[in-house]
Amino acid sequence: ATPMSITAGVGRAAEFGVLVRDADALQKASTLSTLVFDKTGTLTEGQPKVTDIHTFGGISESEALRFAAALEQGSHHPLAQAIVEKAQGQTLPEVQNFRTLGGLGLRGDVDGTTLLLGNQALIQENGVDAQAADGLLNEMTEQGATPVLLAVDGQIAALFGLRDPLREDSIGALQRLHQLGYRLVMLTGDNPRTAQAIATQAGIDTVIAGVRPDGKADAIKALQAKGQQVAMIGDGINDAPALAQADVGIAMGGGSDVAIETAAITLMRPSLHGVADALAMSQATLRNMK
């Protein structure tokens, strides 16, 4: 077990676009049992598009979209960008009393009406009856679309469906990781049915969905409490506490600076093949040392 060979391993990783912080990170990477992936921007491309708009109670599609986009102008979430883009060219009303509700959605007032925009939990917590949207919502989530609900003055007004395809090489990279012997987990704030649909496509073993931003680190802790050695692979600001909690944090290149600062390993290219390359190499390096 020479420190020399580990140092060489760190150097070799850099050659294929994987930055390993130090020898300790590579050593820890060789003992992992479980890999936890963020969904949006890690397994998927991270650029969702609005593909469905359904309205309820007589509001027009364009009015619903204007309301939604007016709120989303104040958000940096990937879903927000998609909704604003869909409303491009339209004049958006001004929003008062804007608030971000972390892991749920947004609220704000337009011309004296109160708007709520976000997931089912947000709508339920505010006592809005969204039964009219249930059938369509179940249909879209089963296809892997993320539902975003709009309520206007406490009445359900619209359901948007947003789709964010898997990165084209995610399936192949996860196959390699299975062959290397890891258990694969998805961790996301998204709808559980949407998450399961995408996990099935990707070949993920276990889904932990509907998790609030501050619950992601706790989810990692729970896996560790069961004796698993856990890596977290993520890109987002929301993932930083989970990256820090994991035995090994792996940041996707092109993600947030916070993720890169927190992570032991950084992928320079936005491909999960980098994870497979790094872990195969850590296994080989440490095997050679025994």
Residues forming contacts to ligand ADP in the complex (CB under 6 A) are: 39-40, 72, 75, 77, 79-80, 103-106, 117-119, 146, 148, 188-190, 213, 236, 238
Asked whether 196 and 1 are in contact (CB, 8 A), the reply is no
As measured in angstroms, the least distance from the Cβ of 118 to ligand ADP is 4
As measured in angstroms, the least distance from the Cβ of 22 to ligand ADP is 29
Of the listed 22, 24, 38, 235, which one is catalytic? 38
- What's the token pair of residue 255? 């993600």
**Is residue 103 within the footprint of Mg ion (CB under 5 A)?**
no
Residue among 40, 170, 262, 271 that touches Mg ion (CB under 5 A): 40
Buried b (16+ CB within 10 A) or exposed e, 203-222: bbeebbbbbebebbbebbee
Nearer to ligand ADP, 219 or 280 (CB): 219
Q: Interface residues for Mg ion in 222-251 (CB under 5 A)?
A: 236
Strands 49-55 and 34-38: unpaired
Task: Provide long-range contacts, Cβ within 8 A and 24+ apart, for 132-137.
Answer: 132/56, 132/57, 132/156, 133/54, 133/56, 133/159, 136/52, 136/54
**Is residue 274 within the footprint of Mg ion (CB under 5 A)?**
no
The torsion defined by the Cα of 208, 105, 236 and 241, in degrees rounded to 10, comes to -70
Nearer to ligand ADP, 177 or 242 (CB): 242
Q: Identify whether 38 is a catalytic site residue.
A: yes
Contact of residue 46 among Mg ion, ligand ADP, none (CB under 5-8 Å per partner type): none
Contact residues for Mg ion (CB under 5 A)? 38, 40-41, 236
Catalytic residues: 38
